[in-house]
Amino acid sequence: MSLFRRFFKNIVRDTDPQDDTVSVKNKPKPKYYGTVTPYPDFNASADASVLESAIKSKGVEEDVIVAVLVKRSNEQRQKIKAVYEASTGRRLDEDLKSALRSDLEDGLGTDEAVLVEILATRSNKEIEEIKRVFKEEYKEDLEQDVKDDTSGDFTQALLAMLKANKDESKDIDLDLARKDAEILFEAGETGKKVDVSTLINILTTRSGPQLTKTFHQYACVSDITLPKALTIQLSGDIEDCLIDIVKCAWNTPAFFAEKLHLAMKGHGTCEKTLIRVLVSRSEVDLKKIVEEYRAMYDNSLHEDILHDTKGHYQKVLLGLCGPY
pLDDT (tens digit per residue) in 208-241: 999 999 999 999 999 999 999 999 999 999 999 9
DSSP string computed for 111-168: -HHHHHHHHHHS-HHHHHHHHHHHHHHHSS-HHHHHHHH--HHHHHHHHHHHT-----
Task: From 219, 250, 281, give the residue that closes a domain.
Answer: 250
Quick one: how many helices (H) and strands (E) in the chain?
20, 2
Whether 224 is covered by a domain: the verdict is yes
User: Which structural domain range is residue 284 located in?
Assistant: 253-321
Q: How many domains does the chain have?
A: 3
Q: Do 81 and 215 belong together in one domain?
A: no
Q: Do 265 and 234 belong together in one domain?
A: no
Nearest to 249 by CA among 156, 162, 151, 172: 172
CA angle 38, 42, 46 (to 5 degrees): 140
Whether 271 is covered by a domain: the verdict is yes
Tell me the pLDDT band of 16, cut-offs 50, 70 and 90. Answer: very low
Q: Do 211 and 273 belong together in one domain?
A: no
Q: Do 116 and 199 belong together in one domain?
A: yes
Q: Do 125 and 187 belong together in one domain?
A: yes
Q: pLDDT tens, 99-150?
A: 876 555 444 434 788 999 999 999 999 999 999 999 998 999 999 999 999 9
Q: Check: CB of residue 97 under 8 Å from CB of residue 136.
A: no
pTM assigned to the model:
0.79
Report the interhelical angle of 236-250 vs 196-205 (nearest 10°). 30
Rg (CA), the chain: 22
Task: From 85, 100, 115, give the residue that closes a domain.
Answer: 100
Whether 26 is covered by a domain: the verdict is no
Q: Do 211 and 278 belong together in one domain?
A: no
Whether 53 is covered by a domain: the verdict is yes
Q: Which of 12-21, 31-40, 60-69, 263-272 has the lowest mean pLDDT?
A: 12-21
CA angle 279, 284, 285 (to 5 degrees): 100
pLDDT at 11: 38
Return d(Cα 74, Cα 283) in angstroms, integer: 8
CATH number at residue 286: 1.10.220.10
Task: From 188, 223, 250, give the residue that closes a domain.
Answer: 250
